[in-house]
């Protein structure tokens, strides 16, 4: 095929467009060259049209552009076609990989070991890792999988290229390819080349990924690889409060997400004996924390983030709930802090009974934050006679619900379930005081110990075929994952002494899960079906069981973690026992018990389901345990905007000859819903419901069913298009009753939306979807502007 520039764009015949090459020379734009560059990558992509990408690229170019601009534009052009044909995502990713490769090779780096040597010289790589790689250069260089990049989707690789690959400190050019990056991460945590190569292959297959701090920092000079820090409330004194600011800043600097309690600090109007003045309460202090968090930028890669936890008996709780409002006095607003309620059961019981609720100043009852269960109930009731104020429990609960609806924040997390059902609270005096930034970590801490957790997630989608789960592969993945999560604890750099004091004692890790929705799509299970719930529960049992087995194995070699004697496992009670459930793999659990009785456990906690926002994109799967948010949606990140299409749906539509422009437009107009596509059978539409279309009860039921096999917790988002106080209060009470330890964001939709700029005008105002049995669904999805049902 020979197509010249003139033929492709006749109006430009008079002047052939020129591009400037990297060496400074100019040459005419040649469509054939672009077609060839594209054709290299499309062997397995039968729906991709290289000429289309080439001509569209040229039409977007201007005379005198550089070849680098041309390359970038061809990537962008391919990416823009994803909405019509998802295969262009792979193409865009491969063009990007080629671009990155060129950039790396341009710095005289031709192999993995050269990349490490070069980056070490630039001060980016740690000495140990540099020496390890130099020692085993040949083996490691040979291990790089040349086809590894073919597995990436565009959004995932774009994220990797923009934020994960190491860059030259001055030129800002990337100094490693995506595969070098994963091998570098593996080498940073390995003792032998065989170990490193095994771990690299697992990550490169995208079946498992450690969390971002590990992916950022493993093998570098700053090996801070933990995701989460849980800081106890400052003591009720100025020095302690300012020490916490300092600690938070240090933790934030190295990519950690921070949870910090504030329940011990006295409320507004409380007496300050030293000066005989009255306290201004917690809000001004939180305002300072807010500014501090915003100021610390996580190595330039993302802004710091923190979540403040408060117990609802604190006298400033109402002002706390207003901290993220976008109206009112700015000096009492904290736009950078996330907020969470740390709720004792007694509060929920009073809400149910429509009783009173006493607000008590912590300076009058300093013991409350350290108590849970009956001991808390007794102490709280005794302290009520010192109450600063009494409110109706339901009024306060209603305010919490309003905050959730208006800001998505003010997460509901349950103190008693968190403590009662934890391995770490086996000895008196050990209390969990809060969760973390994403509400999946629950670990004991205190004034001198800041809890730490490092995370990683199994991509379940990569362990499932239409025939079912590959259990042996899943076990193998979990075994490798636990070993390397445990390894982080020893190699990790701790930015604060309080963190260094806690982590080696408890050695907790958080192995999570992502791609649950992929597994359900592959197996064609509707998210709210009984089979889906059963599968999710069995997968979680397998993960916890294998993780415990691996940890017991590590204990046999290296001894139990130092605080093992203080755990419930030391008393013979494993996590499912705390819930009183009967696991299915009876034999293995019995063997495990025997092993734990002999050797103990290397890790006090093993499983936590994190949101996986970024690593799921890298792996190209749906986030953690979440249902899909939409069949067609846009992701906004620091790297730009990206269209995401449900490829399972596209496959289904193609098979039925329905992947057409009108259907695509219909899906877009319905904001990613397929419920109006009547050509699809009911069961298919049921399978492809979005989070907004699923009963939230089902999400809670699934979470509750798997919870006995999660020894920490799960980041559970809930979705209501048009939240009302009534719906929210019913939903969160149900979540509490179901025994969940934590919930995460409440997701809702804007009241009105931007007028769509590119879809054709809807014919008159006929509703696109006629959903008869669920008016809330119909109103919120189709015409959020004029829904009367929920006003």
Partner 1 sequence: MTTVSESPTDAGTGQRQMLLDPGMDLTLRPMRYPRFFDRFKDAIKNTWTVEEVDLHSDLADLAKLSPAEQHLVSRLVAFFATGDTIVANNLVLNLYQHVNSPEGRLYLSRQLFEEAVHVQFYLNLLDTYVPDERKRFEAFAAVENIPSIARKAEFCFKWIDSIFELRELRTRADRRAFLLNLICFAACIEGLFFYGAFAYVYFLRSRGVLHGLASGTNWVFRDESMHMAFAFDVVDTVRAEEPELFDAELEQQVRDMLAEAVECEVQFAADLLEQGVSGLPLADMREYLRHVADRRLAMLGIEPMYGAQNPFAFMELQDVQELSNFFERRVSAYQVGVTGSVSFDDDF
Q: What is the DSSP letter of 166?
A: -
The string of DSSP codes covering 221-260 is SS-----EEEEPPPPSSHHHHHHHHHHHHHHHHTT-EEEE
Residue of 85, 153, 440, 542 marked active site: 440
Segment interacting with partner 1 (CB under 8 A) among 239-247, 301-309, 483-491, 705-713: 301-309
Q: What is the SS3 string spanning 639-692?
A: CEEEEEECHHHHHHHHHCCCCCHHHHHHHHHCCCCCCCCCCCCHHHHHHCCCCC
Nearer to partner 1, 127 or 636 (CB): 636
Instruction: Provide the minimum distance between the beta carbon of 426 and partner 1 in the complex, in angstroms, as a whole number.
Output: 34
Q: Which residues contact 785 (CB under 8 A, 6 or more apart)?
A: 751, 752
Instruction: Provide the minimum distance between the beta carbon of 259 and partner 1 in the complex, in angstroms, as a whole number.
Output: 14
Work out which of 46, 329, 472, 636 binds partner 1, going by CB under 8 A.
636
Q: Answer yes or no whether residue 389 interacts with partner 1 by CB under 8 A.
A: no
Q: What is the DSSP letter of 281?
A: -
How far apart CA 234 and CA 369 sit, in angstroms, is 12
Please give the radius of gyration of the chain, using alpha carbons only, rounded to the nearest integer: 27
Please provide residue 528's backbone torsions phi and psi, each rounded to the nearest 5 degrees. Answer: -100, 15
- 646 an active-site residue? no
Site for partner 1 in 672-691 (CB under 8 A): 672
Site for partner 1 in 544-573 (CB under 8 A): none
Nearer to partner 1, 249 or 554 (CB): 249
Q: Answer yes or no whether residue 76 interacts with partner 1 by CB under 8 A.
A: yes
How far apart CA 98 and CA 149 sit, in angstroms, is 9
Q: Answer yes or no whether residue 731 interacts with partner 1 by CB under 8 A.
A: yes
Site for partner 1 in 708-727 (CB under 8 A): 720, 722-727
Work out which of 168, 221, 420, 635 binds partner 1, going by CB under 8 A.
635
Instruction: Provide the minimum distance between the beta carbon of 401 and partner 1 in the complex, in angstroms, as a whole number.
Output: 7
Q: What is the DSSP letter of 452?
A: E
Work out which of 668, 684, 686, 771 binds partner 1, going by CB under 8 A.
668
> Do the beta carbons of residue 99 and residue 40 sit within 8 Å?
no
- 436 an active-site residue? yes
Nearer to partner 1, 70 or 387 (CB): 70
Instruction: Provide the minimum distance between the beta carbon of 715 and partner 1 in the complex, in angstroms, as a whole number.
Output: 11
Nearer to partner 1, 102 or 737 (CB): 737
Instruction: Provide the minimum distance between the beta carbon of 256 and partner 1 in the complex, in angstroms, as a whole number.
Output: 12
Instruction: Provide the minimum distance between the beta carbon of 654 and partner 1 in the complex, in angstroms, as a whole number.
Output: 20
Per-position x/- string for 493-532, each x denoting binding to partner 1 as judged by CB under 8 A, each - no binding: ----------------------------------------
Instruction: Provide the minimum distance between the beta carbon of 559 and partner 1 in the complex, in angstroms, as a whole number.
Output: 37
> Do the beta carbons of residue 401 and residue 725 sit within 8 Å?
yes
Work out which of 682, 757, 772, 773 binds partner 1, going by CB under 8 A.
757
> Do the beta carbons of residue 256 and residue 213 sit within 8 Å?
yes
The two tokens of residue 632 are: 């067609």
Nearer to partner 1, 151 or 158 (CB): 158
Instruction: Provide the minimum distance between the beta carbon of 130 and partner 1 in the complex, in angstroms, as a whole number.
Output: 30
How far apart CA 504 and CA 495 sit, in angstroms, is 14
Q: What is the DSSP letter of 742?
A: B
Instruction: Provide the minimum distance between the beta carbon of 643 and partner 1 in the complex, in angstroms, as a whole number.
Output: 6
Site for partner 1 in 392-421 (CB under 8 A): 394, 397-398, 401-402, 405-408
Residue 68 half-sphere exposure, CB side, CA atoms within 13 Å? 9
Q: Answer yes or no whether residue 468 interacts with partner 1 by CB under 8 A.
A: no
Q: What is the DSSP letter of 493?
A: P
Q: Under DSSP, is residue 781 helix (H, G, I), strand (E, B) or coil?
A: helix
Nearer to partner 1, 592 or 735 (CB): 735
17-37 burial by CB neighbour count: b if 16+ within 10 A, else e? bebbeeeeeeeebbbeebbeb
Q: H helices within 421-470, ranges in order?
A: none
- State the number of binding residues for partner 1 (CB under 8 A): 94
Q: Answer yes or no whether residue 733 interacts with partner 1 by CB under 8 A.
A: yes
Site for partner 1 in 601-630 (CB under 8 A): 613-614, 629-630
Instruction: Provide the minimum distance between the beta carbon of 146 and partner 1 in the complex, in angstroms, as a whole number.
Output: 28
**C-alpha closest to that of 359 among 403, 392, 333:** 392
Nearer to partner 1, 80 or 128 (CB): 80
Q: Under DSSP, is residue 619 helix (H, G, I), strand (E, B) or coil?
A: helix
β-strand partners of 469: 464
Nearer to partner 1, 406 or 424 (CB): 406
Nearer to partner 1, 117 or 747 (CB): 747
Q: Under DSSP, is residue 179 helix (H, G, I), strand (E, B) or coil?
A: helix
Q: Answer yes or no whether residue 786 interacts with partner 1 by CB under 8 A.
A: yes
Q: Answer yes or no whether residue 87 interacts with partner 1 by CB under 8 A.
A: no
Site for partner 1 in 232-291 (CB under 8 A): 257
Work out which of 730, 738, 739, 771 binds partner 1, going by CB under 8 A.
730
Site for partner 1 in 737-756 (CB under 8 A): 745, 747-756
Nearer to partner 1, 656 or 747 (CB): 747
Work out which of 48, 282, 340, 643 binds partner 1, going by CB under 8 A.
643
Q: Which residues contact 374 (CB under 8 A, 6 or more apart)?
A: none
Nearer to partner 1, 17 or 98 (CB): 17
Number of H helices, E strands in the chain: 32, 23
Site for partner 1 in 16-75 (CB under 8 A): 59-65, 69-70, 72-73
Residue 427 exposed, middle or buried by CB count within 10 Å (0-12, 13-18, 19+) = middle
The two tokens of residue 190 are: 């390995």
How far apart CA 540 and CA 469 sit, in angstroms, is 12
The two tokens of residue 216 are: 């950022």
Q: Under DSSP, is residue 521 helix (H, G, I), strand (E, B) or coil?
A: helix
Site for partner 1 in 345-364 (CB under 8 A): 351-352
How many CB atoms lie under 10 A from the CB of residue 482? 26
Work out which of 25, 497, 641, 679 binds partner 1, going by CB under 8 A.
641
Work out which of 3, 16, 137, 776 binds partner 1, going by CB under 8 A.
776
Segment interacting with partner 1 (CB under 8 A) among 193-201, 277-285, 382-390, 731-739: 731-739
How far apart CA 783 and CA 676 sit, in angstroms, is 14
**C-alpha closest to that of 623 among 715, 543, 686:** 715
Residue of 438, 621, 624, 779 marked active site: 438
Instruction: Provide the minimum distance between the beta carbon of 220 and partner 1 in the complex, in angstroms, as a whole number.
Output: 20
Residue of 338, 423, 436, 603 marked active site: 436
Nearer to partner 1, 183 or 400 (CB): 400
Site for partner 1 in 156-215 (CB under 8 A): 162
Q: Which residues contact 191 (CB under 8 A, 6 or more apart)?
A: none
Nearer to partner 1, 640 or 651 (CB): 640
Q: Answer yes or no whether residue 770 interacts with partner 1 by CB under 8 A.
A: no
Instruction: Provide the minimum distance between the beta carbon of 776 and partner 1 in the complex, in angstroms, as a whole number.
Output: 7
Q: Which residues contact 451 (CB under 8 A, 6 or more apart)?
A: 228, 229, 230, 441, 443, 444, 445, 499, 502, 503, 506, 508
How many CB atoms lie under 10 A from the CB of residue 127? 9
Segment interacting with partner 1 (CB under 8 A) among 128-136, 174-182, 333-341, 373-381: 333-341
Contacts for 672-678: CB closer than 8 Å, 24+ residues apart: 672/629, 672/630, 672/631, 672/632, 672/633, 673/630, 673/631, 673/769, 673/781, 674/631, 674/649, 675/769, 675/771, 675/777, 675/781, 676/768, 676/769, 676/770
Work out which of 168, 235, 302, 420 binds partner 1, going by CB under 8 A.
302
Instruction: Provide the minimum distance between the beta carbon of 544 and partner 1 in the complex, in angstroms, as a whole number.
Output: 27
Would you name the residues annotated as active-site residues?
436, 438, 440
């Amino acid at each position: 095929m020979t197509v010249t520039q003139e033929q492709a764009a006749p109006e430009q015949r008079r002047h052939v467009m020129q591009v400037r090459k990297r060496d400074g020379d100019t040459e005419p734009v040649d469509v054939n060259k672009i077609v060839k560059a594209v054709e290299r990558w499309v062997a397995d992509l039968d729906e991709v049209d290289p000429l289309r990408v080439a001509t569209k690229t040229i039409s977007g170019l201007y005379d005198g552009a550089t070849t680098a601009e041309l390359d970038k534009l061809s990537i962008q052009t391919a990416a823009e076609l994803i909405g019509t044909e998802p295969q262009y995502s792979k193409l865009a990713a491969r063009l990007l990989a080629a671009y990155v490769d060129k950039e790396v090779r341009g710095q005289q780096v031709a192999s993995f070991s050269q990349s490490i040597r070069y980056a070490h010289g630039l001060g980016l790589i740690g000495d140990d890792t540099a020496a390890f790689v130099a020692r085993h250069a040949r083996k490691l260089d040979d291990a790089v999988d040349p086809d590894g990049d073919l597995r990436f989707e565009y959004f995932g690789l774009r994220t990797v290229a923009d934020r994960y690959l190491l860059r030259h400190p001055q030129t800002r050019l990337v100094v490693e390819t995506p595969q070098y990056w994963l091998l570098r991460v593996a080498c940073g945590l390995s003792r032998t080349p065989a170990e490193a190569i095994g771990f690299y292959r697992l990550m490169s297959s995208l079946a498992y990924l450690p969390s971002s701090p590990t992916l950022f920092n493993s093998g570098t000079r700053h090996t801070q690889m933990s995701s989460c820090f849980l800081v106890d409330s400052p003591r009720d004194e100025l020095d302690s409060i300012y020490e916490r600011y300092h600690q938070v800043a240090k933790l934030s600097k190295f990519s950690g997400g921070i949870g910090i309690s504030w329940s011990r600090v006295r409320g507004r109007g409380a007496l300050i004996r030293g000066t005989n003045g009255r306290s201004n309460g917690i809000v001004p202090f939180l305002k300072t924390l807010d500014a501090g968090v915003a100021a610390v930028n996580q190595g330039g890669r993302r802004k710091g983030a923190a979540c403040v936890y408060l117990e609802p008996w604190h006298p400033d709780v109402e002002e706390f709930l207003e901290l993220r409002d976008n109206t009112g006095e700015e000096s009492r607003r904290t736009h950078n802090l996330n907020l969470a309620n740390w709720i004792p059961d007694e509060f929920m019981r009073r809400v149910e009974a429509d009783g009173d609720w006493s607000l008590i100043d912590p300076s009058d009852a300093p013991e409350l934050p350290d108590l849970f269960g009956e001991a808390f109930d007794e102490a709280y009731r005794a302290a009520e006679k010192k109450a600063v104020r009494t409110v109706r429990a339901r009024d306060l609960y209603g305010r919490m619900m309003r905050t959730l609806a208006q800001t998505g924040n003010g997460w509901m997390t349950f103190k008693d379930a968190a403590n009662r059902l934890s391995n770490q609270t086996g000895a008196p005096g050990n209390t969990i005081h809060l969760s973390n930034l994403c509400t999946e970590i629950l670990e004991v801490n205190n004034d001198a110990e800041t809890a730490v957790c490092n995370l990683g997630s199994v991509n379940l989608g990569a362990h499932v075929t239409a025939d079912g789960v590959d259990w042996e592969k899943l076990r193998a993945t979990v075994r490798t994952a636990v070993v390397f999560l445990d390894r982080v604890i020893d190699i990790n750099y701790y930015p604060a002494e309080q963190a260094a004091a806690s982590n080696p004692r408890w050695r907790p890790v958080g192995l999570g899960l992502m791609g649950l929705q992929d597994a359900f799509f592959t197996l064609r299970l509707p998210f709210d079906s009984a089979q889906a719930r059963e599968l999710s529960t069995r997968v979680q049992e397998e993960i916890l069981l294998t993780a415990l087995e691996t940890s017991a194995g590590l204990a046999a070699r290296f001894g139990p973690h130092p605080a093992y004697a203080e755990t419930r496992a030391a008393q013979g009670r494993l996590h499912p026992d705390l819930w009183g459930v009967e696991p299915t793999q009876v034999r293995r659990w019995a063997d495990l018990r025997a092993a734990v009785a002999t050797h103990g456990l290397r890790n006090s906690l093993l499983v936590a389901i994190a949101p996986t926002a970024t690593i799921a994109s890298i792996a190209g799967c749906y986030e953690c345990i979440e249902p899909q948010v939409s069949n067609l949606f846009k992701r906004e990140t620091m790297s730009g905007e990206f269209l995401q299409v449900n490829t399972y749906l596209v496959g289904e539509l193609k098979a039925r000859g329905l992947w057409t422009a009108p259907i695509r437009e219909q899906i877009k107009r319905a904001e990613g819903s397929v419920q109006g596509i009547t050509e699809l059978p009911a069961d298919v539409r049921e399978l492809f419901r979005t989070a907004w279309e699923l009963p939230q009860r089902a999400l809670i039921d699934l979470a509750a069913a798997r919870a006995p096999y999660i020894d920490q917790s799960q980041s559970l988002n809930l979705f209501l298009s048009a939240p009302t106080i009534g719906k929210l209060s019913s939903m969160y009470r149900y979540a509490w009753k179901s025994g969940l330890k934590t919930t995460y964001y409440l997701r809702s939709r804007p009241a009105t939306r931007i007028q769509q700029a590119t879809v054709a005008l809807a014919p008159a105002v006929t509703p696109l979807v006629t959903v008869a049995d669920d008016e809330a669904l119909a109103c919120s999805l189709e015409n959020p502007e004029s829904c009367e049902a929920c006003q």
